[in-house]
A and B are shown apart, each in its own frame.
Chain A
């Protein structure tokens, strides 16, 4: 039962253009959403998050949009840089358990930025 889905296994974008990564979820109880970035042979690194009370959160070149009615979120990277080439994971959680986030991850999208 895949509660968080990233339907695009890969995405290729020209350097300087906008990268848009998408994520869908099925569990309406999720109230906190995160994006992680992962380079080969490294652990996932936190990128940006959004609470369900917001529909947009921005941090530098990264913006996450949340559409609760569609159960959809997206990550926009603009402008895209070669160092952004990585696998991006979407994750969601509902009420923390004693402060612990029980994150449910999508299967990732491999982003390649072409010079």
Chain B
């Protein structure tokens, strides 16, 4: 039973399109995150939610909008996709002050 699950795992789309990635965790954690792994393999935080409240918002273009309908779900919506958005996006969750548990990642390719 997967602890942090993301869908879809692979996404290929054209520039200018809008797409969403969904994330769900069944660990009972209050905090969820989105990280982006770019072409240089760096993992960088984008957003974090604590019990549906946005608490970390890094310098990310406004085209990226996270949404947390409840504390077990954190979705990422991306408008007007650009070539530079191609990356692997990882969702994660944690207990307060605890280590992060990551999903398997969603590889987004923008053509």
Contact = CB atoms under 8 A, between A and B. Distances in A.
B5 to A, nearest CB: 10
A22 to B, nearest CB: 17
A94 B45 CA distance: 14
B30 A99 contact: yes
A11 to B, nearest CB: 15
B102 A44 contact: yes
B83 interface: no
Contact of A100 (B42, B56, B102, B104): B56
Given A97-B55, A107-B42, A108-B41, A45 B48 contact: no
> What size tier do the contact residues of chain B reach?
20 to 34
Interface in B68-105: 90, 92, 94-105
Contacts, number: 69
Interface residues on A, range: 20 to 34
Main secondary structure of the interface of B (DSSP, over half): strand
B41 A46 contact: no
Contacts of A34: 99
Contact of B98 (A42, A89, A101, A107): A101
A42 B104 contact: yes
